Amino acid sequence: MLIVKKFGGTSVADAQRIKNAANKIIKSYKEGNQVVVVLSAQGDTTDELIEKADEINPEASKREMDMLLSTGEQQSVALMAMAIHSLGYPAVSLNAYQAKIYSSSNYTNARIKNINTERIHTELEKKNIVIVTGFQGVNKYGDVTTLGRGGSDTSAVALAAKLNADLCEIYTDVDGVYTADPRIVKGAKKLDEISYDEMLELATLGAKVLHNRSVELAKKYNVNLVVRSSLTDAEGTVVKEESNVEKMFVSGVAVDKDVSRISVIGLSDQPGIAFKIFSLLSKNKISVDIILQSIGRDNKKDISFTVAKCDLNEALRILEQNKQKIGCESISHNDNVAKVSVVGAGMATNSGVAALLFEALYNADININMISTSEIKISVLVNEKEADIAANAIHDKFMFESDAFGD
């Protein structure tokens, strides 16, 4: 089998953890597999580098930021190769230039466009364990890019897709995908399987186990994905095309605290207003999540939406600059909010989910700010400090009042 194994920053944080991961890698190699390893930067390396940059230039150019940050993964792969060598097995490290991972030019948030796997195949044929830098690519100018949050997961899945790997294992500090974050919700249960779509909703909603882009890619290329622990030998969760959706209609509860709400108030009730606002934000590469538009009264309406906390200031700046053009009375915001969501492929055919959700929040005396629904999820915006209580209330509700979580 050809297996791609990805280890995150905490799994390679120090010499001992690198050796632990090396042992897992070697175990798989000794079983006769071809092994490609994708690594993130060590533990706090990225934060330390960001701090260094901030001290010199708090508004560092994105290109230079990528040049700086990409060194973290290069250190990881070199150290991992050394660890594998010290245990007596052959390994070679490759950075994005060497692994020929080509990306778009969008610094700090590039997309993988293509991978020329020739070098990797050559190294595998030489019986090497191949260790590749996650999170980074090379753009058409020959410059280093990084892939943004969760980029190493995306690197692993893209490599698995391009190499036609039999399996892509994502090692992390949890042992699989849970029905809710076990650190927040006591009764959270590990799932044996989950569908790409459900995982996608959970990832998008801040479950933080897998980045959404990596799941999208896995779905697109039908990559056999497993999320498992770097610390134990537990089985993990398989992410695949169809999970046993018949048995459960809710697969998980997710909390996302990286959310701010912006409201644009007193817009004239004319066509094209929403287009103006969101094209401005999109041009500045600000992603908008939940969007709500109030019903117009007195020819005036309000539009509210959420953005990631890190984008709040820039979004506000852009809107304030274009206040005239947009034609609104005022702009307000709130960054003490969080999004709580339930996800499940079974929802589409079960209208009771929303009712159960609202009942749970009502019983817990939690006020709902905004509501957004899709085929397989319902999200509500609540006060940030009530988010964990909300998640527990919802999880309990579905666990006890229904056999929502399958088995």
C-beta of 63: minimal distance to a second copy in Å? 8
C-beta of 66: minimal distance to a second copy in Å? 8
Q: How many residues bind a second copy (CB under 8 A)?
A: 39
Closer by beta carbon to a second copy, 90 or else 266: 90
Tokens matching residue 97: 């230039």
Q: Report how far residue 331's alpha carbon sits from residue 26's, in angstroms, rounded to the nearest whole number.
A: 56
For helices 62-86 and 15-30, the axis angle rounded to 10 degrees is 60
Distances, alpha carbon 35 to alpha carbons 76, 161, 167, 231, 274, in Å: 17, 14, 10, 19, 49
Binding mask 355-394 vs a second copy (x if CB under 8 A, - otherwise)? ----------------------------------------
Closer by beta carbon to a second copy, 61 or else 363: 61
Side by side, the strands of the sheet bearing 144-146 are 112-115, 101-103, 136-138, 144-146
Tokens matching residue 45: 């390396």
Closer by beta carbon to a second copy, 88 or else 272: 88
By CB under 8 A, tell whether 272 contacts a second copy.
Answer: no
Closer by beta carbon to a second copy, 60 or else 389: 60
Residues 162-183: b if buried by 16+ CB within 10 A, e if exposed = bbebebbbbbbebbbbbbbbee
CA dihedral of residues 64, 306, 187, 377 (deg, nearest 10): -110
Taking CB under 8 A as the criterion, the residue among 38, 83, 158, 210 binding a second copy is 83
The backbone torsions φ and ψ at residue 288, rounded to the nearest 5 degrees and listed phi first, read: -110, 140
Question: Strand 370-374 and strand 300-307: pairing?
Answer: unpaired
Taking CB under 8 A as the criterion, the residue among 92, 174, 303, 353 binding a second copy is 92
C-beta of 13: minimal distance to a second copy in Å? 12
By CB under 8 A, tell whether 105 contacts a second copy.
Answer: no
Closer by beta carbon to a second copy, 98 or else 334: 98
By CB under 8 A, tell whether 146 contacts a second copy.
Answer: no
**In a 3-state reduction of DSSP, which class is residue 9?**
helix
Residue in the structure block whose two tokens are 């399958």: 406
C-beta of 81: minimal distance to a second copy in Å? 5
By CB under 8 A, tell whether 326 contacts a second copy.
Answer: no
Taking CB under 8 A as the criterion, the residue among 86, 321, 332, 374 binding a second copy is 86
Closer by beta carbon to a second copy, 94 or else 387: 94
Closer by beta carbon to a second copy, 99 or else 390: 99
Contacting residues for 183 by C-beta, under 8 A, at least 6 apart? none
Q: Report how far residue 134's alpha carbon sits from residue 392's, in angstroms, rounded to the nearest whole number.
A: 34
By CB under 8 A, tell whether 116 contacts a second copy.
Answer: no
How many Cβ atoms sit within 10 Å of the Cβ of residue 323? 13
Q: Which of residues 11-70 bind a second copy (CB under 8 A)?
A: 15, 18-19, 49, 52-53, 55-57, 59-61, 63-65, 67-68, 70
The backbone torsions φ and ψ at residue 191, rounded to the nearest 5 degrees and listed phi first, read: -95, 140
By CB under 8 A, tell whether 119 contacts a second copy.
Answer: yes
For a second copy, the binding residues (CB under 8 A) are 15, 18-19, 49, 52-53, 55-57, 59-61, 63-65, 67-68, 70-72, 74-75, 77-79, 81-83, 85-86, 92-93, 95, 97-98, 119, 142-144
